[in-house]
Amino acid sequence: MTGRDRQKDEAERLVIGLSGASGVAYGIRLLEACRELGIESHLVMTKPAEMTIGYETDLSPKQVAAKADYSYAVSDIAAPIASGSFKTRGMIVAPCSVRSMSEIATGVTTNCLTRAADVMLKERRPLVLMVRETPLHLGHLRTMTALAEMGAIILPPVPAFYAEPKTLRDLVDQMVGRCLDLFGYDWPDVKRWGEDVAKSRRKKKP
């Protein structure tokens, strides 16, 4: 592999984290989108995330892991994604629980997921946290502020009704596409205002 090939491969790696909040469909769909786009995916799931997969989907954690190019145990602190020397485009935690968010904010990381997120911050790589909690108390908001100040992007999975969703899959796909936008990836399943949506409704000026 030449240096140019290696540089290209490194640019097409994404780390995907699933933590123990409702909304594992976002992370699962991200893995599928990565495969469609030819992005090398590196997955780590917490134990609560594995439980949530059983509650919210018909899949097993093993089946979800099979959707990734590489999968790591949450206890594997020697995994490549736990090192800053392992180059990636960045990381998305989808969904991101309050506990995982809080660990990342303090830098006191206890597992491979939060360590990998800490790596993104210290290496100045994009870190997107799809924080899934409501309502939010002041402590949650202060933690999000701290993370934003450190360079993380807080992206709550808020439905985009302007995209005229017809199914839950439509809602999930829109958020996954908007998330991938932040890394410069154009996933065709996202609907864009003024292009795919509402274009026909615009009235021509007299």
* Domain boundaries along the sequence of the chain: 3-194
**R_g over Cα of the chain:** 17
- Please state which of the ranges 94-98, 117-121, 199-203 shows the lowest mean pLDDT: 199-203
- Do 132 and 156 contact (CB within 8 A), yes or no? yes
**Identity of the amino acid at 123:** E
DSSP string, 121-180: HHTT--EEEEE--SS--HHHHHHHHHHHHHT-EE------GGG---SHHHHHHHHHHHHH
Residues paired with residue 16 on neighbouring β-strands, in sequence order = 43, 92
pLDDT for residue 105 is more than 80:
yes
Q: What average pLDDT does this structure show over 37-55?
A: 98
Query: What's the CATH number of domain 3-194, 1.10.3720.10, 1.20.1250.20, 3.40.50.1950, 3.30.70.3000?
Result: 3.40.50.1950
Q: Which residue has the higher pLDDT, 49 or 1?
A: 49
pLDDT for residue 194 is more than 80:
yes
Can you give the pLDDT at residue 153? Answer: 98
CA contacts within 13 A on the Cβ side of 73: 4
| pTM of the predicted protein model | 0.91
